[in-house]
Structures are given as structure tokens and as C-alpha cells.
Amino acid sequence: MRRLPSLNGLRAFEAAARHGSFTAAAAELHVSQAAVSRMVKLLEERLGFALFDRRANALVLSERGRALQPTLTDSFDAIARRVEQVSAMRAGPVLTVGMGATVAVRWLIPRLSGFHHDHPEIEVRIATGGAGAPMSDDWTCAVLLGDGQWPGYEAERLFSSTMQPVCAPRLAAELREPADLAGATLLHVSHWGQDWPRWLGAAGVPEVASKGLSFGSYAMTLQAAIDGVGVALAPRLYIQDDIAAGRLAVPFGLAVPMAHSWYLVCRASRREDAGFAPFRSWLYAMCGAMCGEAG
């Protein structure tokens, strides 16, 4: 059981200590100067020690007052921030979607305004996830790249893509045929170790004994390619905008189907969550439009 002194007394003391004045504390708390002085006096009687050394023209904290004031200030600030956050919380449904940062930035987020326009009552929160991260119970659902097997979850296939090598335009000009990759730096995504062997096999090139670098995500790998570090192999879904903008170039025309697809993943119990059904329908509409564009 908490044994707390008067909260009004604590507030009065904290304000007076922060301002160094009963008068300024009274103005902040919208009470009289006498009321602040009285509340602090009652608090001191309750605690059994003085919080201020009262002098003729100054209000000086006692040693114990100096020890108490910072904790009270931090605590009242934290309460004020939390009340503000709770007051700002939306009354409508919240949909938390876990996904890899690359597919979020390069595919979902540029299209998300359409969903918000159709369903302004649903607050969408994008959480960090992906093939290298486990599902979180806080997520309503997830859009993940994989083989469709997430034990304990339902997975619906959304779409796939093809893989192509890309690099900075100046580097692409030096690559005439796939065998030239033997002299290039290959950029790998650490948890998709079979990407390059699959593409090289389809190109009829033995796996090149090339120096390489490994990154934790497609996003980092592609940034390295844009910066001229080496040649990346990435889904067409991720690179089309950079190719159109001239940041990346395709040195070889060969594109191979990805070994994995993107899935909508969720627990069966979350399918009834408010917001899930309209988001699922919207996702399928986006996937259908994307397939139409590709065709």
C-alpha cells in the first residue's frame, strides 16, 4: 500500500522549488500565494522536516528539498506527457502491420494514402519486421517474404517478383556479360544466401569466386549499390523506381523468378480484429493492379 503525502502539497512544493517563488508557483497553479505557502507548510509537517530555508528576500531549498525536487519534477512531467498521449489516442480501430522496411518504403507506403482515403477511421501502424525478425503478438497481421510456412499462423499468398542484378550506372557500363561479375563486388542480403547462386545458375555462369559484402536487408544492399559499392541482386518490385530515376542500372537483361513470395500472415484469432478485413481487401486490390501493370 502506498503511503503518499498530499499530492496537492507535493505539487505546490515542486512548483515553488522550480520557480524559487511562492508567488510564481501560485500563478502556475491558479491559486493564491497564501494557499501555496499553506500547502507547503502542511506538507513539511506531514514529512517532519523543512523543505525550504525561508529567508527575508529569498526562498532557498533545504538539503532535503534539493534531494526531493528533481524526482517530483520528472514524475509530474511524465504524468503530463502520458495524459497528453492518452488524450490524443484515436477512438477508432488500430491496425498494426509488421513488414520488412524495404517493402514498406518501396511498395506499401507510397500506396497507403489510398487506404487512408477510403478508411480514415482506421489508424495504420507499420512495425519493423521481415524474414529476419519473428512475428510479434502486437501485430494485427504482417506482409512477409517467405515460403508460406509460419507455424501457428495463417498465410495467404499476395504476389511474387523477379530478381535482377543492379548497380550504379558507371559500374554497369563496365559489365558486358555475366562472367564479368568475377571481377565485381557482389552485394548479398545475409538471410537470402541463395539469391546469387540461383541467378548465376540461370545465366549459365558458375558461381563466381568474387569478393563480396553482406547486409542485413535489401534496403541496405540497394543503398550500397546506388553508392557504387558493388552489384546487388534484388526483386524488381524494389528497384523499378531507382531504375526509372537513373540511380540504378540493369547491366544484364536476365531476370529470374524469386524462390519466395510475399504473404499476408496473421493468427486466426486476429482476422476478426477491426480493420483487418478492409485492409486485406485493399491489399488484394493493390496486388491485382500491380499484376496488371506487369502484364
CATH number of the domain enclosing 275: 3.40.190.10
> 99-103, 133-137, 227-231: which has the minimum mean pLDDT?
133-137
**Domain co-membership, 190 together with 114:** no
What pLDDT, on a 0 to 100 scale, did the predictor assign at position 217? 86
Residue 237: CB atoms within 10 Å = 22
Residue 86 pLDDT level (bands cut at 50, 70, 90): confident
Give the global pTM.
0.63
Q: Give the helix, strand, coil percentages of the chain, each rounded to 5.
A: 45, 20, 35
Across 40-65, average pLDDT: 88
Across 199-227, average pLDDT: 85
| Strand boundaries in the chain, DSSP class E | 52-54, 59-61, 94-99, 123-128, 141-146, 154-159, 162-166, 186-189, 212-215, 231-235, 256-257, 261-266
Across 182-211, average pLDDT: 84
User: Does the pLDDT at position 284 exceed 50?
Assistant: yes
What pLDDT, on a 0 to 100 scale, did the predictor assign at position 124? 92
**Domain co-membership, 146 together with 287:** yes
What pLDDT, on a 0 to 100 scale, did the predictor assign at position 211? 67
**Domain co-membership, 155 together with 269:** yes
**Domain co-membership, 61 together with 206:** no
Averaged pLDDT of the chain? 88
What pLDDT, on a 0 to 100 scale, did the predictor assign at position 280? 95
- Among 38, 71, 88, residue at a domain's last position: 88
**Domain co-membership, 58 together with 127:** no
**Domain co-membership, 174 together with 236:** yes
**Domain co-membership, 77 together with 220:** no
Domain residues for the domain of 64 are: 7-88
What pLDDT, on a 0 to 100 scale, did the predictor assign at position 89? 63
What pLDDT, on a 0 to 100 scale, did the predictor assign at position 294? 46
pLDDT > 90 fraction of the chain, expressed in percent and rounded = 52
Residue 192 pLDDT level (bands cut at 50, 70, 90): confident
**2 located within any domain:** no
**Domain co-membership, 251 together with 167:** yes
Residue 254's region, left for phi above 0, alpha for psi from -120 to 50, else beta, is beta
Residue appearing with cell numbers 524474414: 131
295 or 256, higher pLDDT: 256
**Domain co-membership, 130 together with 166:** no
**Alpha-carbon distance 210 to 208, whole Å?**
5
What pLDDT, on a 0 to 100 scale, did the predictor assign at position 295? 38
Residue 32 pLDDT level (bands cut at 50, 70, 90): very high
Number of domains present in the structure of the chain = 3
91 or 279, higher pLDDT: 279
**Domain co-membership, 171 together with 250:** yes
